[in-house]
Amino acid sequence: MDELLRLEQVSAGYGEAIVISGIDLSLRTGSSLAVLGRNGTGKTTLLNTIIGVTRHRGGRIELAGRDITRMRPDIRALAGIGWVPQERNIFRSLTVEENLTAVARPGRWDVSSVYRLFPRLRERRANMGNQLSGGEQQMLSIARALMLNPKLVLLDEPTEGLAPIIVNEVLAAMKHLVRNEGMSAIVVEQHAQKILGFTDDAVILDRGSIVHSASSRSLVEDPSPLEHYLGVDSTAKARTSANLFKLRRVSGGEAD
C-alpha cells in the first residue's frame, strides 16, 4: 500500500507551550492507527497538529506525498483530511440532513450511504442538531466528516461520554469503515480495549512523545506495554481485547 501520511520530527503546541515533540509517524493508504495514552499525554494535540490548528514548532507533515506543514486547516480539509473532534462541532441550528449536505463533496459517501451506516440519522433527518442526543450528535459528526469524502479520517475520543448501547453502535460503524470500506483512519482513545480489535497498528504517547509502537495484534497478545504506560490490568484487559480481536475482520469468511 502507498504511504498516505508521514510526520517527520514534528513538534507543536499552543502559544509558547510545546505539547508534542519529535513525532515520527507514518500511515499507509487503507490502514488504521490507534493513538493511545493517558489524559494529557498529547493525543488530541497530535490530531490537532495534523489538521493544522496548533502552533507548528518543527518538523514536516506530508499527505499523499504533498507537504501540508504550512497549510491552513481549511486547505488541509480540501486536500483530504476529515476530522471528528471531541466537541463534535455540528451545526445545531440546522437539521441532520442540512448538516450533511452543507459540507458534501462528490464521492463514495453521500446522504444515502451515511444513512445506511447510521440508521438513527435517517430517523432523525428532520431534527435540528440541538434536538439530538449526545450519541446521535457523535454519529452526525462522523457522518459529516465522511460527506467530505476524505482520504483520511481523524477521530478524537469518539466514544467518550456515550451510553454503552451507543458506544457499541459507534464502534460497529468504525469497524465497518476500516474493515469493509478500507477507510484510512487515526483513532485517539484512552481505553485501548475499545479499538485494538479493529485497528492495524498502535502508538502509545507519553509526555508528548511516542514511547511505544506496535501492531494492534501484538498489543492484544501481549498487553504489558498497556499496563506499563496506561496503567491497565493486563490480565483483564487482555481478555477483553482478545474477545474484540476475534471479531476483528468482517470479510473473507471470518466471523463478525
Cα dihedral across residues 185, 108, 170, 94: positive or negative: positive
Residues of the domain holding 69: 3-80+188-246
Angle of helix 164-179 relative to helix 134-146, nearest 10 degrees, comes to: 10
Residue 142's φ and ψ, nearest 5 degrees, are -65, -45
pLDDT at 39 over 50: yes
pLDDT at 236 over 60: no
C-alpha closest to that of 35 among 115, 154, 147: 154
Q: Does residue 21 fall inside a structural domain?
A: yes
Q: Which amino acid is at 195?
A: I
Q: What would the DSSP string read from start to end of the chain?
A: --EEEEEEEEEEEETTEEEEEEEEEEEETT-EEEEE--TTSSHHHHHHHHHT-SEEEEEEEEETTEE-TT--HHHHHHHTEEEE-TT----TTSBHHHHHHTT--SSS--HHHHHHH-HHHHHTTTSBGGGS-HHHHHHHHHHHHHTT--SEEEEESTTTT--HHHHHHHHHHHHHHHHTS--EEEEEES-GGGTTTT-SEEEEEETTEEEEEEEHHHHHH--HHHHHHH---HHHHHHHHHHHHHT---STT---
Total tally of structural domains belonging to the chain: 1
Q: Does residue 179 fall inside a structural domain?
A: no
d(C-alpha 96, C-alpha 43), whole Å: 29
85-94 pLDDT tens trace: 998 889 999 9
Q: Would the pTM of this model clear 0.85, i.e. be above it? A: yes
CATH label of the domain that carries residue 66: 3.40.50.300
* Cross-strand pairs, 34: 187, 202
Q: Does residue 56 fall inside a structural domain?
A: yes
What is the overall mean pLDDT for the chain?
91
108-145 pLDDT tens trace: 999 999 999 999 999 999 999 999 999 999 999 999 99
Mean pLDDT of 93-112: 96
- pLDDT bucket at 1, cuts 50 / 70 / 90: low
Q: Does residue 94 fall inside a structural domain?
A: no
Block residue for cell numbers 446521535: 136
Q: Does residue 86 fall inside a structural domain?
A: no
Q: Does residue 65 fall inside a structural domain?
A: yes
